[in-house]
Amino acid sequence: MQLMAGCTGSAYNARKQRRGAFWEDFYHATVVDTEEHLARCFTYIDLNMVRAGVVDHPSQWPHCGYYEIQNPPQRYRIIDRSALAQLLAVEEDQLAKVQKLLTGGFEREPQWSAGVAVGRRSFVDAVKGELGYRGRCRPIEKCDGGWILREGAAAYGADTGARMAPLSRG
């Protein structure tokens, strides 16, 4: 993920002839299965500006995937439509229809912000296996429409600093 983020930032900076950080704050990476799971993840991301109160619908935010799929630009496309159609197991001319069918509730879905992997059970099991010892304590749970490999439990004392301060000598 770091390699992809670094390449994306470098390419953008070179294209725009700018310098500096591309990604602001930390972000959470989730490995996502194909087809319905990937479509739901894209929809969730496209609704970020709606949840933030910036727009009422993703169609009003020209910098998201929803906008580009619904209104494909003639030049400077970001989305590889044929690759996306293949990953979603639909024909390329059906992308806009699939995306419109999936828009709905604007609430947060924890699998996208608290999951390590989301998808079919076999996919999530495979990701957990690839993690080796780092996957041992991560639970797999059923979630809306699939399975999720959750983050491990927080490190001991990660959120107890304020409560423990009166007990410390320092």
The predicted-structure confidence for 118-149, as pLDDT tens digits, reads as follows 899 999 999 999 988 888 888 899 987 789 99
| Structure tokens given for 148 | 């999720």
8 Å CB contact between 117 and 38: no
Alpha-carbon distance 152 to 136, whole Å? 9
| pLDDT of 113 strictly over 50 | yes
The 10s digit of each residue's pLDDT in 28-45 is 678 888 888 888 888 888
Entry pTM: 0.64
**83-89: which pairs have CB atoms within 8 A and are 24 or more residues apart?**
87/34, 87/35, 87/38, 88/34, 88/35, 88/38, 88/39, 89/34, 89/35
- Please tell me which residue, 135 or 111, carries the higher pLDDT value: 135
**Domain limits of the chain?**
32-106, 109-152
